[in-house]
Amino acid sequence: MNVTGIVVEYNPFHNGHALHARQSKIKTNADIIVAVMSGNFLQRGEPALISKWARTKMALAAGVDIVVELPYVFATQHAEVFAQGAISILKEIGANAVCFGSESGEISDFTSLSTFIKEHEKTYSTFIKEALKEGYSYPKASALAFKKLDQQHEVIDLSLPNNILGYHYVKAISEQGAQITPFTIKRTNAQYHDQEIPEHSIASATSIRETLIKKNKQLTAIEHVVPKTTYNELKNYTNMYDGFQNWEQLYPFLKYKVLTADLSQLQSIYEAEEGLENRLKNIITNTISFQQLMEQLKTKRYTWTRLQRFCLHTLTNTTKEDMSIRENTCPYIRILGMTNNGRNYMSTQKKKLGVPLISTISKLDHPFIYIESRATSCYSLGYPSSVQKKLIKEEYAHPPIIV
């Protein structure tokens, strides 16, 4: 049986995601599509627009067979750790292929780059450290290090987000000795950071979120760029949860946390480095929105994404000690949802798993679970109390969604 993994956030699920799932199935001749999906918080340090359960329903309605959660400790990390966690889950679940979207569209670009960097790993690391000392952000330092390593080597553009993730998926497969063949599909039409809804049917998730939150437009404005099942789920979600989640709703709670914590507490937060905690505490006092905070917090040294992740870990009180227990492999598999096809596959696979398979987190005692439940409690903030109660209860008691 051919099992293909895709690593996703679905924030929210749109026509481009549906196309990716279909093309992945065709390209790899897959019998089963497994989506490893981030939970309520995402890789760029943002809250998901809608809960993981709503996003799971969207995915299952559009052709995905199994949705598995990528835990917070991997989902809110830089590309290398994010990829390590996702690939370890796909390896454990029995995937023999992974298919990702990229700006390159050629898998040979990624495999040759992975081999090249592995052969020059020590020198490459040295060049990165030198660039970091000069004040560059890590992504920029990596790009400069590669250029310095071999100016003649033709390489994919690692300043593009999907190319970066693709490289790390291929690297993680190699490092974990996974029997997984990588495939890639070229992204078309919408680009990752596009902020305007186009007239055609493929739009970026960024533009959809901008339209629904920042531009305060009605759902009808995005109806043509999402599957009907997504549109209906978004409509139901607004009725049930009183709107969408975003950083501005969580900002007052972040500000309270920072202003009432002493510096030693903030220094213990994961990714608090080089006096970032001082900078955050000084700036947040005089800001009235998350957007304003980020604009003033941003420096040449740190990317917007890196700073958002620091703010997120501060909000969720995720400490360096919490993250110190993390390894490069996920210690359990949590199923969020399945189709009947997916359920049949998992019934044959579960006896082969080397880690626990859980349907609800109340059935496992693990430090990652406590971090996950704490993150969900923070995610619920900003919603009415009845919604908060529902979201927190779902985290502990919601069984996998079966379609």
Binding site feature residues for ATP: 7-20, 101, 162, 187
| Cβ atoms 72, 375 nearer than 8 A | yes
Residue that is written with structure tokens 């995601």 in the block: 17
DSSP for 226-285, please give it. S-HHHHHHHHHHHHHHSS---HHHHHHHHHHHHHHS-HHHHHTBTT--TTHHHHHHHHHT
How far apart CA 92 and CA 325 sit, in angstroms, is 20
DSSP 8-state assignment for residue 159: T
Residue stretches of the annotated binding site: 7-20, 101, 162, 187
Cβ atoms 396, 373 nearer than 8 A: yes
Nearest to 95 by CA among 185, 184, 7, 186: 7
Which single residue is written with the structure tokens 């349907």? 359
* Sign of the CA dihedral with 283 first, then 284, 285, and 287 last: positive
Beta bridge partners of 319: 269
| SS3 at position 49 | coil
Cα angle vertex 372, ends 369, 374, to 5°?
110
